[in-house]
Amino acid sequence: MESNGKSIRLDNVPVDYQTAPVLWGEPGTNGQHSFYQLIHQGTKLIPIDFIGFWEPNHAVGDHHAKLLANVFAQAEALAFGSENKEEPYRNFEGNRPSNIIMIKKLTPYTLGSLIAMYEHKIFVEGVIWNIDSFDQWGVELGKKLATTILDEFNQIPR
């Protein structure tokens, strides 16, 4: 995939705005116990995409319906929040952006479509932010340093 997250624009002027979101994810409800709390009540607004499939690729009993219900419930909670005057730590502001992308079934075609959509999103962000989405100088620096460190490791007697 392309790489945004640059600190210099195409005209060599430093940027004073964020040029890439932090991306991560988890299948099913696994994210609830790792990063959903941050999304619901954290101090930084984090847009989220929920991707769901109407038809599972394997028999899962009623588990699939529960997962789909959770997609819609989490998006609703992010949108509308919940107020609790007695316990302020249980307040959820709401008004936190999310998208629900529902696909009939996961197939090679739909997976390819998702990848193409997110690739195009990165490209468009780069155009808007006036940065080069196709270079990876930070990655190149890491590879160069890793080569040097590997050489040093190989010199350590074992």
Element (H, E) at 70: helix 63-80
Distances (CA, A) of 126 to 17, 25, 132: 12, 22, 6
Helix %, strand %, coil % for the chain, to 5? 45, 15, 40
Point out the catalytic residue in the list 33, 44, 58, 104: 33
Query: Would residue 143 show up in a list of annotated catalytic residues for this protein?
Result: yes
Query: Would residue 140 show up in a list of annotated catalytic residues for this protein?
Result: no
Nearest to 21 by CA among 1, 43, 38, 4: 4
Cβ–Cβ contacts within 10 Å for residue 40, how many? 19
Query: Would residue 44 show up in a list of annotated catalytic residues for this protein?
Result: no
Pairing of strands 48-55, 98-105: parallel
Cβ neighbours of residue 125 under 8 Å, at least 6 residues apart? 4, 19, 20, 133
Point out the catalytic residue in the list 63, 105, 143, 144: 143
Active site members: 2, 33, 143
